[in-house]
Amino acid sequence: MRYVVYGAGAVGGVIAARLALGGHDVQVVARGAHLEAIQRRGLRLVTAHDEAVVELRAADTVADLDVGSDTAVLVSVKSHQTAAIMHDVLRGTPPDVTLVSAQNGVANEATMLRGRHHVLGMVVMLPSSHLEPGVVIQGSSAKPGLLDLGCFPSGTDDRAEAVADGLRAGGFESVVRPDIMAWKYRKLMLNLGNAAQAACAPGADKDELDELVRSEGEAVLAAADIAMVSEATDARRRADHLDTSLMRARGGGSTWQSLRRGTGDVEVDYLNGEISLLGRLHGVPTPANDLLRDTVWRLAAERAEPGSVAAADLLKELQT
């Protein structure tokens, strides 16, 4: 199987580089200065132990790449960008291409399924960062990441197994699961903390916000009767596969990085906003998720620095 990584940022860039280092045919879609750097110098992968420069065919549209029925397109843009890039994907891929949502959130797979019939969901556990054009940082010095996947909405097949084989050749842990969305909803619970991490400095007040948004999330999924693997099951899967103790300066997670890069947009609508949506559909209040979603959107619009909001002030607002 050949691979196209659509969105060669922090997650997509590390996946693309490691797939290529594992001997696979890999192309990438990137934009702006990052694309120019990859085309001129290759993609530089920085790890805790060494660096590697990987030469990749790169373009700003999938139509300018070589995509066939034997290609898996790993989509790793932020969730709020998925609908827009699907227009490009549909123009540049055959009907029987394999699409893989290498993304946080739980809404991307349905968006992809509107245009292509073979869609795989992926749980992304890959500490990484991208703050400089042409450079991605692999955060884990043990396995680079855990990338379990399965068919959407459920099931397994030979294509899922082939993609997992390729990821394992690139050094990743990858298990094919028939209930991948139950795993993705558990990952969503973790990603609800991205907003407080991006908006607030570390500390007990920030941790309290994390607990509030996750408690609301658990209540909403229970009310919606959405299947989710247990926290204990998820912890056993992670075990000690990822080791970030030797990681070079990464900063924070994906939402933190969006604020630091000053992109002007964030994917919080598909993380905390997913809980807000489900809460409204099922009559469950979600004030903490609502407030953090709105706060992070304001910071993004103002091009504000990460950590510029006092968590104590947000807690006070929730108590009024």
pLDDT in tens, 49-108: 899 999 999 999 999 999 999 999 999 999 999 999 999 999 999 999 999 999 999 999
Question: pLDDT value at position 11?
Answer: 96
Query: Of the residues 135, 162, 178, which one is the last residue of a structural domain?
Result: 178
Beta bridge mates, 146: 125, 173
Residue appearing with tokens 């997670």: 253
Please choose, from the candidates 258, 32, 297, 264, the residue with its C-alpha nearest in 3D space to the C-alpha of residue 129: 258
Supply the pTM of this predicted model: 0.95
**pLDDT, tens only, 96-142:** 999 999 999 999 999 999 999 999 999 999 999 998 999 999 988 87
Please choose, from the candidates 272, 258, 266, the residue with its C-alpha nearest in 3D space to the C-alpha of residue 305: 258
Average pLDDT estimate for 36-41: 98
Write down the number of H helices and E strands in the chain. 13, 11
E-state strands within 86-166: 98-101, 119-125, 128-132, 135-138, 146-151
Please choose, from the candidates 232, 234, 107, 102, the residue with its C-alpha nearest in 3D space to the C-alpha of residue 172: 102
Residues 140 and 111 in one domain: yes
Q: Contact, 56 vs 83, CB < 8 A? A: no
Please choose, from the candidates 272, 319, 9, the residue with its C-alpha nearest in 3D space to the C-alpha of residue 136: 9
Residues 89 and 25 in one domain: yes
d(CA 84, CA 115): 12
Residues 58 and 202 in one domain: no
Average pLDDT estimate for 179-201: 97
Which residues form the domain of 85? Answer: 2-178
Residue 73, helix vs strand vs coil: strand
Query: Of the residues 178, 213, 246, which one is the last residue of a structural domain?
Result: 178
**pLDDT, tens only, 211-252:** 999 999 999 999 999 999 999 999 999 888 887 765 545 568
Residues 137 and 229 in one domain: no
**pLDDT, tens only, 257-278:** 899 989 899 999 999 999 999 9
CATH number at residue 140: 3.40.50.720
Residues 120 and 269 in one domain: no
Residues 209 and 147 in one domain: no
Query: Of the residues 122, 156, 178, which one is the last residue of a structural domain?
Result: 178
Residue 206, helix vs strand vs coil: helix
Question: pLDDT value at position 238?
Answer: 87
- Across all residues in the chain, what is the average pLDDT? 95
Residues 24 and 139 in one domain: yes
Residues 18 and 112 in one domain: yes
191-210 as b/e, with b when 16 or more CB fall inside 10 Å?
bbbbbbbbbbeeeebbebbb
Count of structural domains within the chain: 2
